[in-house]
Amino acid sequence: MALSADFHVDDDDEALELVRPGKWTLVVVSLLRTQSLRFSELKRHAGGVSQKVLTDTLRSLERDGFVTRTMFPTIPPRVDYSLTDLGHELLVLADAWRVFVVRHQSQVQQARQRYDAAALEPDAGHADSP
């Protein structure tokens, strides 16, 4: 296969594979914009995220240095999450994403309706096999 000249994996592409958003990354980062939040608060505001996925998302944000996690030895223990300086830079990207989605969401939803309608037609399935 001949790939065009500008197609190559460089260091920056590796960086993209190293640091990239999961399904809930930008949602969680946006929720932490103005304040620290507890786990249960994040769970409530991020509509529909499961306990496990939220735990994984927060752990990965903490590990990457975007979020700090503070534990208070109360009963029951309280755990707060807030954005670091680096996390605030990520917020800029989250905002760009939101602007994009707001601008294009009706187009996306129309595309979904077409796709789903096509998938329902008996002869026009999405079969991968011949």
Q: Least CB distance from residue 16 to other proteins, whole Å?
A: 5
Of residues 51, 96, 117, 125, which one binds other proteins by CB under 8 A? Answer: 96
Cis amide linkage into residue 73, ω under 30° from 0: no
- Our CB check for other proteins shows the closer of 35 and 109 to be 109
Is 1 among the residues that bind other proteins (CB under 8 A)? yes
Distance CA 109, CA 128 (A): 24
- Our CB check for other proteins shows the closer of 36 and 60 to be 60
Q: Which of residues 31-70 bind other proteins (CB under 8 A)?
A: 46-48, 62-65
